[in-house]
A and B are shown apart, each in its own frame.
Chain A
Amino acid sequence: MSRHRNVRSMNYSDEYDGYDDVYGHSVEDDYCVSPSVSILAEQFLFDRNKQHNISSYITEDDIVEEDETQEETPLPPSYKRPELSVLDATKLESCIEAIKNVVGDSIPESTLTENILKHNLNSEAALDAILATTSSNNASEKPAINQNNEDLLQGKKLTAKPAVPVLLSSPAVKVIPSATRSVIKGFDISGTDGDFLNTTVESPRSQSPFSGQTSPDIRRKDIKTVSSKSNTPRCQSPAVEQDNKSKLNSKKLDAISLFKNLRGDIKEQLHLVVVGHVDAGKSTLLGRLLCDLGQVSSKLLHKFQTESKKIGKQSFAYAWVLDETGEERERGITMDVGHSKFETATKTITLLDAPGHKDFIPNMIMGATQADVALLVVDATRGEFETGFDSGGQTREHALLLRSLGVSQLAVVINKLDTVDWSKDRYDEIVEKMRVFLKQAGFRDAVPFVPCSGLSGENLVSKSKEEGLIKWYNGPTLTEVIDQFKCPKRPVDQPFRFSVNDIYKGTGSGFCVSGHVETGMISTSDKVLVLPHNEVASVRGLQIDEMPVTNGFAGDHLVFTLTGIDQQIIAVGDLLCDPQHLVPVTTRFEAHIVIFAVAMPITRGLPVVMHHQSLVEPVVLKKLIAQLHKSSGEVIKKKPRCLPKNSSAIVEIETQRPICMELYRDVKQLGRIMLRVGGSTIAAGLVTKIY
């Protein structure tokens, strides 16, 4: 308790500075709200998080009405100036200066910034917009703030009286922090307000909305909204409601708008994973593609060619662009995911070259979890396609894995067609087989097929001049197909989640953690929580493709420079998250699994390896809860003795150490699991319940 108070008072003293200026009530006023009540302590703690936000607003400029709604964002990020390049930042400064000359200081800087950015750093257009909004807002806003102040005063009066009976004081006590919050948060008003008003008034002891608040579950968004809702009636006025509702919608998308501001004008980012059976020619295809697009200098390529010739593997020259370790080059296979980047007409593509060898499927899964779309490379050579495609081949397994990992857009590249003399019959045969299989696997959209040759570079970037091919094919080239992929929606408005993929020593202080942002956004100097170890670290810097950036968004492949935490603590497969929105940590959970064609039936107690994002963990199937009908999802049998192949079931899974898990319905990417035994994938699942 005393510790809490210390923290609290420390923060308050700073943060109330600005606050008092505006609303003219002192810190002491707040303290007389009997802080010894433990519930309150919780509330204050909770509040502090919120007030942290205002403080950052307030210090920026004096508070004006527009500002209030700014805070109402899905995440509680404090308003920061959108991060810009140096050039843009200076432009922005000058624009702000110009506008301030006209309007004076009546408009907060944040509003200015936003408007300026909206109008692409055009100060005049922005000024017009600002003047238009302020004139319309001013009328409706003024009563609102008055109302608030009055309301605050009322609350103050109540609590200032120590003699108030407990029964009475308790609702009053509650009101203060939340009423202040309602000012902060910008009146999240909805139809349920009336009900909440009633309950609070009629049964002050039940304190229904608050009991939720005292639970440690502060991360739950809904609780926050509930608590603010419950109090809004006190300052309710039709004008405020109307006005705020409209503004709410726009401001709620703070993260989104920031995302749009920063990323709207550049090409869309797309992560593309390339999979396929071993020796289908994935790395060579990509190497050739990168060379043809001019991403690889001819000097480097020449070096690869001479060196590969030296060890008698001339055909691997292009693959060496992506296979960089000595081991990989020597053996001529990809072992770990290779990263590269190129641009098409409308998109920036991050290439992930996955290994095809059976033993490296864990690495392939890691690559595929980061991908939005995929290329499946198949070898057209006689016999080779068949080995890859038959059971035990990786063409099949990779496609199933992609589907279960949520990669729904796929293109099939039929490679090495030059080895079969560009035979149309062979092409059609493969297309037919693949189409049937992919349909079964659940790829619903029409999957495009591209004939090409990776080594000779036909039909990759430019249309082929090969007689044999153009005779019967005039469809798009590989780059065109890639360009046609649709970008998935980035869930930037959700709490921040980042899965750790690699940890290494960077240059300078701290160490680097690379991985994939699943949801939300992050800025430099933010704090992140490392789970499941529960350690807080601060973000020293962010990098995308070796370039320092100030914001990262869902879908990015980011490199963090972390400080304030030991490198040994963090491990591959950990999650970094927003300290206020935790990821559940558990050792036991329930999952709905779909079983593939397995050689052995699944019984309870089966030890399997689970893949969850980049985490690889041995787990045990603790219980088989129910076997489900494959398509309808009805329970066929409760507690089945064993699960045969191609069935669907609900199982309970236990891990040896705590891991981070999200329910599939909350965060799709973090709610998917893969189960593997003895080098083959036996099931894919969705997390349905966390114990």
Chain B
Amino acid sequence: MKLLSKNVDKNADGDITLIPEEPEDLWHAYNLISEGDSVRGSTIRKVQTESSTGSSSSNRVRTVLTIKVESIDFDTQACKLRLKGRNIEENQYVKMGAYHTLDLEQNRKFTLYKPEWDSISLERVDTACDPTQSADLAAVIMQDGIAHVCLITSNMTLVRAKIDQNIPRKRKGNVSQHEKGLARFYESVMQAILRHINFDVVKCILLASPGFVKNQFMEFMIQEAVRTDNKVILDNKAKFMLVHASSGFKHSLREVLADPAVVSRVADTKAAGEVRALQAFYTLLQTEPARAFYGKRHVEKANEAQAIETLLISDKLFRCQDIVTRKQYVNLVDSVREFGGDVKIFSSMHVSGEQLDQLTGVAALLRFPITELEDESEDSESENEDEK
């Protein structure tokens, strides 16, 4: 993302102009824009004109519109962001208050006006504009019959292809069907890799599976590449890395990213860091449950006691529709920082973030145990349930 201008005053109201450059930048934009903000961008609108004789003609005009956002749609697979809202700046084509849907595209600038830029939003702008954070990683997680081809960017894990095929089992005296089925499966996985992974961008491809599936597949792929003289794979052979995973399902990616061999190679990707943080939380929950809290109410109580050492929070909570709730979370983050705590904002597009979402979206590791909270957990938990 490129920052063109930033005009935020003391009261935190103001506008920022940005140019998204990568698909991931649209994800950042999706997290930045909330309902009630105004967005100014160039767009195409069909305009109907009526001539003096009464005949009407319609044509498409490119124009710059400013809308007040009412609803936001993000397509994770195609990385498209659509904003729907009312026009707030009349021009020659579009009347005041007319509805328009603005598509944010790559390499087209937009200006975002927010009545209040909070710390989370400003931080998001900074991270989005940081060019160093673009370690691209691909992972193929598989087991016999199931494979997921994923792209892992710093803020997103995108499942690009899911292969689910039936492989006949070995039977007495008939293993040919099994082997044929296996070959067919490997062929599909290989095609998916070729189609979805851009070897110029991706620095490392993790092949993860239980047992020997990964080795067999690697062998198959190299053989096929030699046979068909596929330069792309042969040249990038060194980028493949074999890792153990317990299953071929998507959530096994968490194990893969926690693998020490992987960590050393992709240490600074956000995904791996998040996995480690969540791991730490679970370990603490096992060993010292009074120091590991989750759920909004609990975490807020712990924050009042200035006990939070590390706060894990999902970015999904900041996308919430209700401004008051969002503010509560922003305040929570600010106050944790104020008291010297560490805040990790998880991307809900990563596997670890997905898991944190399921775990109410907010969790905290405490500096010291707070026991009384644990005792009263029963009633507060139920309230928590209601809030959700």
Give me the interface of A with B, judged by CB distance under 8 Å. 324-328, 331, 335-340, 357, 359-360, 362, 501-505, 514, 571-572, 599-601, 603-607, 609, 616, 618, 620, 622, 637-639, 641-642, 644-645, 676-679
Contacts of B315 in A (CB 8 A): none
Contacts of A359 in B (CB 8 A): 210-211, 244, 246
Question: Could you list 21 examples of A-B contacts with CB < 8 Å?
Answer: A325-B179, A326-B175, A327-B212, A335-B212, A336-B169, A360-B210, A360-B211, A362-B143, A502-B168, A504-B181, A601-B289, A603-B282, A603-B285, A605-B358, A622-B358, A639-B377, A639-B385, A642-B285, A676-B246, A676-B247, A678-B246
Contacts of B283 in A (CB 8 A): 600
Q: How far is the CA of A327 from the CA of B283 in the complex (A)?
A: 38
- A601 & B382 in contact (Cβ 8 Å cutoff): no
Across chains A and B, which 7 residue pairs bring their CB atoms closest together, nearest first?
Answer: A605-B358, A504-B168, A679-B246, A607-B251, A359-B210, A359-B211, A618-B249
Q: How far is the CA of A639 from the CA of B382 in the complex (A)?
A: 8
B interface secondary structure, majority: helix
- A639 & B378 in contact (Cβ 8 Å cutoff): yes
- B172 & A324 in contact (Cβ 8 Å cutoff): yes
Contacts of A326 in B (CB 8 A): 175, 179
Contacts of A601 in B (CB 8 A): 282, 285-286, 289
Q: How far is the CA of A571 from the CA of B251 in the complex (A)?
A: 21
- The answer to the question of B381 belonging to the interface, with a C-beta cut-off of 8 Å to chain A, is yes
- The answer to the question of B255 belonging to the interface, with a C-beta cut-off of 8 Å to chain A, is yes
Partner among A325, A357, A616, A645 whose Cβ is within 8 Å of the Cβ of B178: A325
- A606 & B355 in contact (Cβ 8 Å cutoff): yes
- The answer to the question of B30 belonging to the interface, with a C-beta cut-off of 8 Å to chain A, is no
Contacts of A327 in B (CB 8 A): 212, 216
- The answer to the question of B357 belonging to the interface, with a C-beta cut-off of 8 Å to chain A, is yes
Closest to A568 in B: B166
Contacts of A360 in B (CB 8 A): 210-211
Contacts of A337 in B (CB 8 A): 169
Contacts of A609 in B (CB 8 A): 246-247, 249
Contacts of B164 in A (CB 8 A): 571
Q: Nearest Cβ in chain B — how far from A222, in angstroms? A: 36
- The answer to the question of B195 belonging to the interface, with a C-beta cut-off of 8 Å to chain A, is no
- The answer to the question of B250 belonging to the interface, with a C-beta cut-off of 8 Å to chain A, is yes
- B169 & A637 in contact (Cβ 8 Å cutoff): no
- A325 & B378 in contact (Cβ 8 Å cutoff): no
**Proximity string of chain B (279-320) to chain A, C-beta cutoff 8 Å, 1 when within and 0 when not:** 000110110010000110000000000000000000000000
- A642 & B289 in contact (Cβ 8 Å cutoff): yes
Closest to B145 in A: A572
Closest to A506 in B: B177
**Proximity string of chain B (210-233) to chain A, C-beta cutoff 8 Å, 1 when within and 0 when not:** 111000100000000000000000
- The answer to the question of B171 belonging to the interface, with a C-beta cut-off of 8 Å to chain A, is yes
- B282 & A600 in contact (Cβ 8 Å cutoff): yes
- The answer to the question of B237 belonging to the interface, with a C-beta cut-off of 8 Å to chain A, is no
Closest to A599 in B: B286
- A618 & B251 in contact (Cβ 8 Å cutoff): yes
Contacts of A514 in B (CB 8 A): 171
- The answer to the question of B44 belonging to the interface, with a C-beta cut-off of 8 Å to chain A, is no
- B289 & A641 in contact (Cβ 8 Å cutoff): yes
Q: From residue 165 to 218 of chain B, which have CB atoms closer than 8 A to chain A? A: 166, 168-173, 175, 177-179, 181, 210-212, 216
Decide: A501 near B169, CB < 8 A? Known: A327-B212, A637-B378.
yes
- The answer to the question of B96 belonging to the interface, with a C-beta cut-off of 8 Å to chain A, is no
Contacts of A339 in B (CB 8 A): 171-172
- B355 & A605 in contact (Cβ 8 Å cutoff): yes
Q: Nearest Cβ in chain A — how far from B341, in angstroms? A: 21
Contacts of A504 in B (CB 8 A): 168-169, 171, 177, 181
- The answer to the question of B12 belonging to the interface, with a C-beta cut-off of 8 Å to chain A, is no
Q: Nearest Cβ in chain B — how far from A319, in angstroms? A: 14
Q: A340-B172, A679-B210 are known; give 6 further A-B pairs, CB within 8 A.
A: A502-B169, A504-B181, A599-B286, A600-B282, A618-B251, A644-B286
Closest to A616 in B: B247
Closest to A620 in B: B358
- B212 & A331 in contact (Cβ 8 Å cutoff): yes
- A607 & B216 in contact (Cβ 8 Å cutoff): no
- B166 & A618 in contact (Cβ 8 Å cutoff): no
Q: How far is the CA of A327 from the CA of B169 in the complex (A)?
A: 13
- A572 & B289 in contact (Cβ 8 Å cutoff): no
Closest to A679 in B: B246
- A357 & B177 in contact (Cβ 8 Å cutoff): no
Partner among B177, B252, B355, B381 whose Cβ is within 8 Å of the Cβ of A639: B381
In this complex, which of B179, B181, B247 has the most chain A Cβ atoms within 10 angstroms of its Cβ?
Answer: B247
Closest to B356 in A: A605
Q: Nearest Cβ in chain A — how far from B383, in angstroms? A: 11
Closest to A323 in B: B170
Q: How far is the CA of A357 from the CA of B175 in the complex (A)?
A: 21
Q: How far is the CA of A606 from the CA of B212 in the complex (A)?
A: 27
Q: How far is the CA of A593 from the CA of B294 in the complex (A)?
A: 22
Contacts of A679 in B (CB 8 A): 210, 246
Decide: A325 near B175, CB < 8 A? Known: A639-B381, A641-B381, A679-B246.
yes
Q: How far is the CA of A645 from the CA of B289 in the complex (A)?
A: 13
- The answer to the question of B234 belonging to the interface, with a C-beta cut-off of 8 Å to chain A, is no
- B172 & A605 in contact (Cβ 8 Å cutoff): no
Contacts of A620 in B (CB 8 A): 358
Decide: A603 near B246, CB < 8 A? Known: A325-B175, A340-B172.
no
- B255 & A678 in contact (Cβ 8 Å cutoff): yes
Contacts of B351 in A (CB 8 A): 607
Contacts of B358 in A (CB 8 A): 604-607, 620, 622
Contacts of A362 in B (CB 8 A): 143, 247
- B359 & A600 in contact (Cβ 8 Å cutoff): no
Partner among B166, B252, B355 whose Cβ is within 8 Å of the Cβ of A571: B166
Closest to B285 in A: A601
Q: How far is the CA of A609 from the CA of B245 in the complex (A)?
A: 13
Contacts of A678 in B (CB 8 A): 246, 252, 255
Q: How far is the CA of A293 from the CA of B285 in the complex (A)?
A: 54
Contacts of A505 in B (CB 8 A): 168, 177
Partner among B211, B216, B282 whose Cβ is within 8 Å of the Cβ of A357: B211
- B211 & A335 in contact (Cβ 8 Å cutoff): yes
In this complex, which of B170, B173, B175 has the most chain A Cβ atoms within 10 angstroms of its Cβ?
Answer: B170
Q: Nearest Cβ in chain A — how far from B281, in angstroms? A: 9
Decide: A641 near B377, CB < 8 A? Known: A324-B175, A340-B172, A571-B166.
yes
Q: From residue 128 to 172 of chain B, which have CB atoms closer than 8 A to chain A? A: 143, 145, 164, 166, 168-172
Q: Nearest Cβ in chain A — how far from B107, in angstroms? A: 36
Q: How far is the CA of A337 from the CA of B249 in the complex (A)?
A: 22
**Proximity string of chain B (72-92) to chain A, C-beta cutoff 8 Å, 1 when within and 0 when not:** 000000000000000000000
- B294 & A603 in contact (Cβ 8 Å cutoff): yes
Q: How far is the CA of A644 from the CA of B286 in the complex (A)?
A: 7
Contacts of B295 in A (CB 8 A): 641
Contacts of B212 in A (CB 8 A): 327, 331, 335
- B385 & A604 in contact (Cβ 8 Å cutoff): no
Partner among A600, A603, A638, A676 whose Cβ is within 8 Å of the Cβ of B378: A638
Closest to A546 in B: B172
Q: How far is the CA of A359 from the CA of B168 in the complex (A)?
A: 19
Q: How far is the CA of A62 from the CA of B164 in the complex (A)?
A: 54
In this complex, which of A326, A338, A603, A645 has the most chain B Cβ atoms within 10 angstroms of its Cβ?
Answer: A603
Q: Nearest Cβ in chain A — how far from B386, in angstroms? A: 12
